[in-house]
Homo-oligomer: A and B are copies of this chain.
Amino acid sequence: MAESQTNSATELLLEAGVDLHLEVRGPKLGAGLTDALREAVRSGRLTPGARLPASRTLAADLGIARSTVTESYAELVAEGWLTAQQGSATRVAERATARRTTTAAQRVPVRRRTHGLLPGAADFAEFPRAQWLTASRRALSAAPPDAFGYGDPLGRMELRVALAEYLARVRSVYAEPERIIICAGFHHGLALTAQALIARGVRAVAVESYGLDLYRELLTHTGLGIPALSVDEHGARIDELNGLDGVGAVLLTPAHQFRTGVALSPERRAAALDWARITGGVVLEDDYDGEFRYDRKPVGALQGLDPEGVVYFGTASKSLAPALRVSWMVVPDSLLPDIAAAKGSVETVSVLEQLTLAEFIASGAFDRHVRSRRQSYRRRRDQLVKALAHSAPDIRVTGMTAGLQAVLELPAGTEAWVLQAASRQGLMVSGMAEFRHGGRDPHGPPRDALVVNYSAVSDSAWPSALKALCSVMP
């Protein structure tokens, strides 16, 4: 399972909010990247003048060597697809325009974008604009003058109080407002925690063998090792922690394993807390979509069982919208000073937005919104299962008792093929390989599977996306 299996994908965020999904696969990553970029220019998905990401950024996003990106850029500059000036960003060459407008390929982007079922996306058309504005109006009217100042760097107390009540009620989190820190997204909270762990002398954070590259990058960039725990049908293999040296924390997604979708079994939940108690380590509980569960019994957060052994992370990105850039963590007393020190003396999250979210939660609008989304997502999930049972009865669908996506288990060795077929249908889905630690599973053979985010499209686009999905199943 060496380089020849390595696949990689990323969303390029370009100017004017244009995002471009770039998939690089095949035995030679450099050639794959060059082809993917050339095709993106040729088809018009990358428009003339558009700035490409810095080679460093793209390399990090794709999890490949920077030199590979530099060489791809250089080759495409030599070919005339891109332009580069000393010290300035690489851009799509202007002359590519003529080529674009004279080919039929220009219609491709429109078709591709109709069936986006990629993880991380959501049905943004459902953002509760009117209710949010109502909360904003109330919050702004009620705000005392000091609310317009620099703010408490740990977060506005109104929001921390509202979250404490909400998290205790919905996720069984033991959350005194004083333990809650408001952040600008999970990424931000994890960065602060990593700094605090380093300050404590921690050298490594164990991670699940399936997860997001972005977070693994963040941990290694901070200077932490990231040994991986295998993931099976009971979640992460907590017992593997015992063989690992210098590990002071473990990053887990207990409610809904990030990408395989399994819930951590009761035995392993207990084992994780035991490990923390015995070793003095800490569990980092990423409860990214804990609000969305369908037919299984709700499982509370690990944190409620041992608030001193767990840092709990939640976010408004899945339940409301990533655009808010608001998340929260609930921190053990013992880590609070170091995490607060890492956050520094300057607030980074808009105070007005914090007050609006506090009002949105306190008024019950948040609960109503989550309930309504949950019903809608459950309906889609049921439709997905039914449609697949009809058109592809051999495909096992897993990881869907909760969360916003399902995992479609594929016959071994077919993932890359199915992804190519999907791409030809303009269907944007992810393969499981993309989330594998280090680009591959360190423990055992890769699992061939599609990760289908059924919450990513609007209600009107869903039926045709589902139809396209069924049509590419082997």
Residues of B within 8 A of A323 (CB): 147-151, 350-352
What is the bound-complex CA distance between A437 and B92, given in angstroms? 46
What is the bound-complex CA distance between A347 and B458, given in angstroms? 24
**A98 adjacent to chain B (CB < 8 Å):** no
Residues of B within 8 A of A324 (CB): 350-352
Residues of B within 8 A of A56 (CB): 337, 341
**A61 adjacent to chain B (CB < 8 Å):** yes
Cβ A151 vs Cβ B322 within 8 A: yes
What is the bound-complex CA distance between A336 and B153, given in angstroms? 28
Q: Interface digits, A120-145 against B, CB 8 Å rule (1 contact, 0 not)?
A: 11101101010011001100110001
Cβ A147 vs Cβ B17 within 8 A: yes
Residues of B within 8 A of A353 (CB): 350, 352-353
Task: Give A186's nearest chain B residue, CB to CB.
Answer: B346
Cβ B124 vs Cβ A149 within 8 A: yes
Residues of B within 8 A of A121 (CB): 149
**A184 adjacent to chain B (CB < 8 Å):** yes
Contact of A337 among B19, B89, B333, B341 (CB under 8 A): B89
Contact of A348 among B140, B149, B188 (CB under 8 A): B188
Residues of B within 8 A of A344 (CB): 57, 187
**A306 adjacent to chain B (CB < 8 Å):** no
What is the bound-complex CA distance between A147 and B346, given in angstroms? 27
How many identical chains are in the complex? 2
Cβ A124 vs Cβ B137 within 8 A: no
Q: Report the minimal beta-carbon distance from A327 to chain B, rounded to whole angstroms.
A: 11
Cβ B88 vs Cβ A321 within 8 A: no
**A407 adjacent to chain B (CB < 8 Å):** no
Give the one of A54, A188, A321, A338 with max B CB within 10 A.
Answer: A321
Residues of B within 8 A of A51 (CB): 178
Cβ B60 vs Cβ A185 within 8 A: no
What is the bound-complex CA distance between A77 and B57, given in angstroms? 49
What is the bound-complex CA distance between A51 and B152, given in angstroms? 12
CB-CB under 8 A for A334 and B149, given A17-B156, A351-B325? no
**A365 adjacent to chain B (CB < 8 Å):** no
Residues of B within 8 A of A137 (CB): 133
Give the one of A17, A56, A140, A147 with max B CB within 10 A.
Answer: A17
**A13 adjacent to chain B (CB < 8 Å):** yes
Task: Give A347's nearest chain B residue, CB to CB.
Answer: B325
Q: Report the minimal beta-carbon distance from A183 to chain B, rounded to whole angstroms.
A: 9
What is the bound-complex CA distance between A152 and B146, given in angstroms? 31
Cβ B88 vs Cβ A336 within 8 A: yes
Give the one of A51, A157, A333, A348 with max B CB within 10 A.
Answer: A348
Cβ A140 vs Cβ B145 within 8 A: no
Q: Report the minimal beta-carbon distance from A406 to chain B, rounded to whole angstroms.
A: 21
What is the bound-complex CA distance between A72 and B129, given in angstroms? 50
**A345 adjacent to chain B (CB < 8 Å):** yes
What is the bound-complex CA distance between A141 and B136, given in angstroms? 14
CB-CB under 8 A for A54 and B338, given A149-B323, A322-B149, A323-B351? yes
Task: Give A320's nearest chain B residue, CB to CB.
Answer: B148
Residues of B within 8 A of A337 (CB): 54, 56, 89
Q: Report the minimal beta-carbon distance from A389 to chain B, rounded to whole angstroms.
A: 31
**12 other contacts beyond A17-B157, A325-B348, A325-B350, with CB at 8 A cut-off?**
A17-B147, A17-B149, A17-B156, A87-B333, A124-B146, A145-B458, A149-B321, A150-B317, A184-B184, A187-B344, A324-B350, A348-B348
